[in-house]
Amino acid sequence: MRLSPSGRFSRAELRLAMAAPRPSAGLTSEWQLVDGLRTHTRRSADPGTGAPPVVLVHGLAVSHRYLTPLAVALATTHPVYVPDLPGFGLTERPRGAYDVRRHADHLAAWLAAYRLPPVCLLGHSFGAEVAASVAATHPAAVRALVLAGPTSDPAGRSRRTQFGRWLVDTTREAPLQAPILARDMWNARPWRVVATLSHSVHNAIEADLVRITAPTLVLAGDRDPVVPARWRDQATRLVPDASLVVVPAAAHNVVTTAPTAVATAIRHILSPDPALTDR
């Protein structure tokens, strides 16, 4: 499948995003019981390169669906796993909305259930909060960490501010992403989205950032209103071993609209070998 240039999203990518649980572009679906919940994972085949697995963690209100272009971009060199967090996508819905710590505990249990070697863990938006928590509390499970568009900065830690920033972001995103959001909101139910947003704005991610020991990449689109430049710079400084990559022409959903650039950045943090980085 041909991936769109940075800042774009094609109809072919939309069809791929909406395909689960059917196999598509080398991605398949499977379910595993994790902490009592039937948990859905979209995954690629192992390309046989010996490269470490990459686990992609979605953000608020969404699911594996919008991460599928990035999964395809990475699958030529890495085994890729994209789990749906509890209550989102095709994973079973618990009665309540999990906070960051409980999502992190579920993701750590998911990693243990799959018996993966130390992974490259990418979290996007709210998923970056979950990934940071896992990296801080289960360092042996995380070989490298990518915090893509991490929420939320101390200057914008309210539901009103975050919703306002998201509204601005919708004007900068590729329009074809809208059907994915609508489908994911329906799967999760709006009340769960609102409750999870409340958990997000009460989560002090900086307390986890300072405890991370894995090599870390903070990554954001240069047109992202949800993650202002001052916050992405501060987040990078807080992590003991972190670098920053800003993707031109991308907004908050950089992992969807700039999958090739993000995949290149992930390969670089995992291996300095140009042969891998340039694929």
In tens, the pLDDT along 188-201 reads 999 999 999 999 99
The reported pLDDT for the residue numbered 108 is: 98
What is the reported pLDDT for 277?
A: 38
Q: What single string gives the DSSP state of each residue in the chain?
A: -PPPPTT---HHHHHHHT-TTS-BTTEEEEEEEETTEEEEEEEEPP-SS-PPPEEEE--TT--GGGGHHHHHHHTTTS-EEEEPPTTSTTSPPPSS---HHHHHHHHHHHHHHHTPPSEEEEEETHHHHHHHHHHHH-GGGEEEEEEES----GGG-SHHHHHHHHHHHHTTS-GGGHHHHHHHHHHH-HHHHHHHHHHHHT--HHHHHTT--S-EEEEEETT-SSS-HHHHHHHHHHSTTEEEEEETT--TTHHHH-HHHHHHHHHHHH---HHHHT-
Q: Per the structure block, which two tokens stand in for 46?
A: 């192992």
Which amino acid makes up residue 102? R
Residues of the chain short of pLDDT 50, as ranges, are 1-3, 273-279
Q: Which amino acid, 13?
A: E
pLDDT at 6: 59
pLDDT at position 3 is 46
Q: What is the pLDDT of residue 187?
A: 94
CB 270 within 8 A of CB 120: yes
Give residue 7's pLDDT: 62
